[in-house]
Structure 1
Amino acid sequence: AAILEEVSNKKAARILQLTDTARVVELLKHLTVSKAANVMVEIDVEKASKIVEKMAEADVKSAARILEEMASINLTRTAEVLEKTQTMTTAKLILEIANLQRY
């Protein structure tokens, strides 16, 4: 994961694109929120939506933080990812983002 922190966002995205989704979620946990969000914005929408699903299952708060940061980087891309994500997962993430913004 330390190597992913150092390589470009596009290169990290290409690496993660070819990696098992569950493993990607584990790797993203070890990156800063900013780096994880920047990489997620570069990943294919289909794969990114699967990653968001798995992240939300594992830790909705962390997933919400990354998603919030993704939106500040590229709102259109984030919306595209959420369009492909299950409705209940999207709802949970949006509610969690709203909770994060209260603090």
Structure 2
Amino acid sequence: MDAVCLLPPTEGDGGLAPWMDNWNPGDRIYYSFPMSHGAGILMDVVIPALYSLQCILGPPSVLLDLGLLEARADHANIDIWSMVPSLAVELGEHLDVLSKFKPSKFICASGGK
């Protein structure tokens, strides 16, 4: 994962930069998988360490839902979002909440089906 930012442009890439191209030291990342999951460890510990990011966790014992994402968008100044697909779908169905994500650099759905 740390080598992704080192990938040079390649013939036929259509100018598409690596997905971490605009991540900067100090950017804030929120990943919806728990730390008890392998992907949670990767995105909450390893990636922030490799890219000097600030990882936003929790809050503990609070069910992850659209309301929590909206509160994070309102108050946590998150630059990078990675969420479970069901939340990404729900976010796309609520344009009023989705508009709050406009300042973000990167939003993706990961995991699941």
Query: Normalized against structure 2, the TM-score is what?
Result: 0.34
Per residue, is there more strand in 1 or in 2? 2
Larger radius of gyration: 2
Name the structure with the higher helix share. Answer: 1
